[in-house]
Structure 1
């Protein structure tokens, strides 16, 4: 199932059209995207048994071509976790030591943006990082790796935009603030439930900047895989429905290049993960 934030309402997207969750269910399920994430399993079961008609005026293909009506699949998560240096090739390009346990920081919810949102550039040193985003459906503490998939509502594509000068300034890096400017966390284009994917832990990532492919990778190459991240985070924090986990980026970021390359006004950043869709964000 593909669950989207369409015009601010929880909406199921199909090849034949869209289904407004609250209207089609007669009010059984909520209209707010975040609240719908918390009951995504029930919505999926209801969809399979009732097969409500879809509105053909809003098709999946049309929204893929023009995502302007799509907002972030989650709008106000209580927690956004991000994981640094979670791919060997990215650790190598930064020259930093591979971490012995997940390197975790936060991004603030006010940085969230939709799949077609513009990205304002506050400085000339803004960088890209394509990431697989895990959306928590069922929360909890001390979740074992063997039960991690039971706690996932779905997956989406994300970008961890980073203002590198601020991030690296001073003796103590400012990861969270430097990565939380307006629209620095575009996600989407919708939430895809795990049952739609042959292997939700084995997905291809591609990021292009204008006509250049700048990142390619595969989620199977994570140092700490998704079950390990969920188990690790829940050993400290209580995970809650609609929380987000940005799981790290592969090699190819701009500041590790010689010379460094950064985002510029007018550039178009496209971020694609197999089975999940594409973000198309213009820098302004």
Structure 2
């Protein structure tokens, strides 16, 4: 008798957690391509980035949400609203926590938000590579006492440990259905936004602690030239002249370094040579201006 073929599944997964627990690293590792930007600075992810993993038996669409935290400005309010709004639209949720840090107020704040959802929540304990094996069970136990998770999987997103087990776990909660997106599509974000995010990532890595929150990057022009190269002009916004000087660096050295590193990533993404033209401009208090936030892609 012929064995019945398993039904194809498809669904949406929200990836939530405090800032810096490795949500973007996890999604990039699952997708196998750099889409979500990574940094050790808070508030790295600002937009809700949709990333798509297509396998023979399922299509899993991940929503990399901004870190849930108590907002201090309009940008912060937007980010939390985007993250919490996502929880209502998905089939399941990954709650990512950092194995190297004790559960604190930030985790409890998110758990309270999860109580309002009826969706299956899987606890993802990340950074397994940084702790002793004997520490894993006590961490899982401490979280299980706080919330009735549908599953719990310890992983290392960076080292790609246990990711197959995590996918196997979440596929149980996906509904049967066709693929929503073409097989070769890995994100719904326009290229203009992704390249701007890649530049912002390099600025975050290169600048001091006082600058990252006030950085925004806008793609002003993206044109293919007759010789096949892509010309991209971008504006890096800061809020004060002193921050502008930091980003540019002595004799423009830092901006040149940012440009070189970003260009490599953008060329890998677009598969073509890129001429990157970066400018730094002061836009006072942009994080509290709805019009500016809208222009930068925060809707």
TM-score (norm 2): 0.24
Higher helix proportion, which one? 2
**Is the radius of gyration larger for structure 1 or structure 2?**
2
Larger RCO of the pair (alpha carbons < 8 Å, separation 6+) = 1
Higher strand proportion, which one? 1
